[in-house]
Amino acid sequence: MNSIYLPLLRDQLTRLKAAGAEYADVRFHDYDDSESLFFLQGELRNCEQSSTFGLGVRVLVDGAWGFASASNMNDLDSVFQKAFRSAKEAAKCCERPVELADRDVLENVRFKSPCQIDPFDVPLEEKIEFFKEVDAALQKGYVKQRYISYEAEHKHVHFLDSEGSYGARDIVDIFAGMRVVGIDEDGLSQERTYNLTLDPFGTRGWELMRDPKRFIEHAPRIVSELELVLQAPPCPKDVRSVILKPGIMFLQTHEVVGHALELDRILGYELSFAGGSFVTLDDFGNLRYGSDKMNVAADATLPNSPGSFGFDDDGVPCQNIVLIKDGILQSALTSRQTVTEANSKAGRFIFERSGGANSAMDFTRPPIERMTNINILPGTDGTLEDIVRTTEKGIIMDGDRSWSIGSNREQFHFACEIGWLVENGAITGIVRNPTYSSKTLPFWRSMSAVGDRSTCELVQVANCGKGLPSQIMRLGHCVPVCRFDNVQIGL
């Protein structure tokens, strides 16, 4: 991880400080490799491999940010100077000078994601052969389309700032999924999907794909569940308890807890693109977000998840932050810049320091508040079977098919892939096109059961979009099975 460029980058930061910068940092990607494969009906339809290299420079001058990036290291003077000039220009129209919250200097922190077999060391032929084997397990007469996707990344990133920080990351991520599609009696498509989940204390290299329990053994399950969905009656219009499995619980958490608690949104910075948040600065420490069974953490210290990365792009170490405790809102996803602004606007000390959630997609973008691992903490209501036993009239749902979210995350509608009706403590049948909708706060306040640790899965999100220009972020949600009462379904 040592690079001949590090002394040169340090010199540039020192030069900008001497020229009047309040602060400057640089992210240098030694290498940034990615590979993606896509199979349709077992045929390899797309195969992309790329390798990039470059740096992103962020400079704070007179209270305003400037940013520049380059995909070569030939003229460091010019890229640092460009960022400095941009900040100088921005400062002329800066209404509210940026102030960075204090933090400890990052002292030579090195983070390596746990990985046994680097996916980039595995020959392409072996990968293709493996996914053809998976495809064979998806073939059945009623399966009209079979999709398999795979993406891997390997990044080396160095972070240096003008306050003397240095950190390095070596991160491998793998995302893979399979989907089967059939046509029901009404001529509408139905589908079942499995996306690779992680063991939060395991590893995330190619060995994940070789572990039958993690991937290929899910193929016959989704194929047989698709057959049941194709023969099932439609989801009734009703008001029932909704029991969400991790395959939809992760998205429920992502959309109306994670996104709603990004502090830049709460301050109004995302209104032009991804929307705002119904949460206000007055709500911290006061708002009853959910029932007292609701406990949420932004845990970037989980050993094995794409939402764990050692330190963020402010050079703040990853942390485990309590967002919601016993249903009451406590904190948000924060950066050095937004905690200072929020405390000042609120006229009280809400945030002690940055929670370490400021991240950029790659070296071509400046960092913004992003989710780490937004997890629902396991509860004491046992297994899925235990929760079903105590449910009078309900429906279990799994698999995200579509979602529609209010622009301030105040309401939502989700369509799922499969539903199991529950009557008097027992599963009575399967339905197709299950949907549910609600308002965010009444929904979470109706949370009446939270499964134990055995029901938790770490679901990966490979494509969380935010920012202008747009940035894609990877993260995880470790979530249990949860039940919510009096929810409208079937609309």
208: nearest Cα among 319, 311, 306, 307? 306
CB of 466 to Zn ion, least distance (A): 6
Given a contact cutoff of 8 angstroms between Cβ atoms, the answer to whether 68 and 79 are in contact is yes
Give the CA count within 13 Å in the CB-facing half-sphere of 340.
Answer: 12
Nearer to Zn ion, 47 or 472 (CB): 472
CA–CA dist 250, 246 (Å, integer):
6
CB of 2 to Zn ion, least distance (A): 35
CB-based closest residue to Zn ion: 464
Q: Show the 3-state SS of the chain.
A: CCCCCHHHHHHHHHHHHHCCCCEEEEEEEEEEEEEEEEEECCEEEEEEEEEEEEEEEEEEECCEEEEEEECCCCCHHHHHHHHHHHHHHHHCCCCCCCCCCCCCCCEEEEEECCCCCCHHHCCHHHHHHHHHHHHHCCCCCCCCEEEEEEEEEEEEEEEEECCCCEEEEEEEEEEEEEEEEEECCCCCEEEEEEECEECCCCCCCCHHHHCCCCCCCHHHHHHHHHHHHHHCCECCCEEEEEEECHHHHHHHHHHHHHHHHEHHHHCCCCCCCCCCCCCCHHHCCCCECCCCCCCEEEECCCCCCCCCCCECCCCCECCEEEEEECCEECCCECCHHHHHHHHHHHCCCCCCCCCCCEECCCCCCCCEECCCEEEECCCCCCCHHHHHHCCCEEEEEEEEEEEEECCCCCEEEEEEEEEEEEECCEEEEEEECCEEEEEHHHHHHCEEEECCHHHCEEEEEEEEEECCCCEEEEEEEEECCEEEEEEEECC
CA distances from 365 to 55, 330, 425, 488 (A): 10, 30, 51, 41
Residue burial 22-57, b: 16+ Cβ < 10 Å; e: rest: bbbbbbbbbebbbbebbbeeeeeeeeeeeeebbbbb
The owner of tokens 């400021």 is 358
Question: Which residues contact Zn ion (rule: CB under 5 A)?
Answer: 464
Give backbone dihedrals phi and psi of 291, rounded to 5 degrees, phi first. Answer: -70, 170
- Tell me the Cα Rg of the chain: 24
